Amino acid sequence: MTDSPLPLEGVLVLDFSQFLAGPVAALRLADLGARVIKVERPVVGDIGRTLAFAGLRAGVDTISFHAMNRNKESVAADLKDPEQLEWVRALARQADVVLQNFRPGVVQRLGLDHATLSRENPRVVYGSITGYGDTGPWKDRPGQDLLAQSVSGIPWLQGGERPTAVGLSIADHLASCHLAQGITALLLRRERTGLGGHVETSLLESVLDLQFELLSAKLTQPEQVRVRSRGEHSAHTFLSAPYGIYPTADGYLSIAMNPVPVIGTLLELPELESMTDPRSWWDSQPRIEQLISQRLATAGTAHWLTLLDAADIWCAPVHTLDELVAHDGFAAIDMVQSIARTEPDGSRTTVQTTRSPLRIDGRTLRSGRGAPVLGADTAAVRAELAPDPVVPR
């Protein structure tokens, strides 16, 4: 069924968002077949065009912009200009989905808020992302990934002497998934009922949801849950030994949830074999980790994988970035695709990036269409969808 239509073919998305969470939500819709038109400011465009991940660029834009805006169209419009704003509103009246992450109050001033657009386009599905919701003491704080992680307490969960943030934009990426899920759910409801709708999420809600196990335990039995110091090799504040990352003679090995006596038998550590009471896996965590790390340091990662895999122990090598991309397993999962576009000066830019992690009807979702040059599709979209704006007087 690899030639079956993609689920969102025929859906028109108008995307006002910028940088990461909103654009990646729109990207997820594009990968599922939607047509995404990105609305950007003239000259400067989406801030993500210049905020470079690792300082790297390809052509006139950052590599990260290419990665999160592939397979989209770009129109440039000055929303402070009445004629251009009315043209954009005419686009919104035809859109199936409108997506935005403006600062609070901006969409209302522009007449691009859900209440206004739904009066003109009752079937519209409207998606909004904020940093911390639109009520409460944090609502006006800058909505950025590190800041959302920090407000949510995540940097303290590593259990060390100082807070350490997750080194990827987890709040942005999770929010993009939640928004895309909500939009697709509302599109399904619209097919059944004809009713559009408004889905909202925030970076904070997304990282709080990430902590649902922790927060459920803390809220239900608060006296039993505290972030404590972990063993040197522990990989989780709330899981007992042997859960951790251990050095070997030539790298590192992760060991997940496994009975300590079983690990003791396989590694020939009698002290661990005798620890049959699971409570001791908490109480003696530093000692357990010390014994395991000393033993694993006597041979290479491949040796221990062979031994532990044969016993069906949950374990894995810890790859460096270079090891990951060179590995046969990385090639086998086939996550890489090549995207390309023509630059304003006529040169050709090609970027190697990831594909959608979904497969639909056996079809791996790919598109070689690169991220759009700023405003590249303005004339074509204007001619096709909204040629004659009427400027309010």
| Catalytic residue IDs | 172
Residue with tokens 């939009």: 183
Residue with tokens 């357990």: 288
Helical segments of 111-200, H only: 114-120, 145-152, 170-193
Residue type at 332 in one-letter notation? A
Q: Determine whether 215 is exposed, middle or buried from the number of CB atoms within 10 Å of its CB (0-12, 13-18, 19+).
A: middle
User: What are the distances in angstroms from CA 57 to CA 168, 367, 368?
Assistant: 19, 20, 18
What's the token pair of residue 86? 């009315």
User: Hey, which residues does 348 pair with through a beta bridge?
Assistant: 342
Residues 237, 227: contact at Cβ < 8 Å? Answer: yes
**What SS3 state is found at 205?**
helix
Distance CA 160, CA 235 (A): 11
In terms of phi and psi (left: phi > 0; alpha: psi -120 to 50; beta: otherwise), the region of 133 is left
Write out the DSSP string of 71-88: T-EEEE--TTSHHHHHHH
Distance CA 172, CA 101 (A): 12
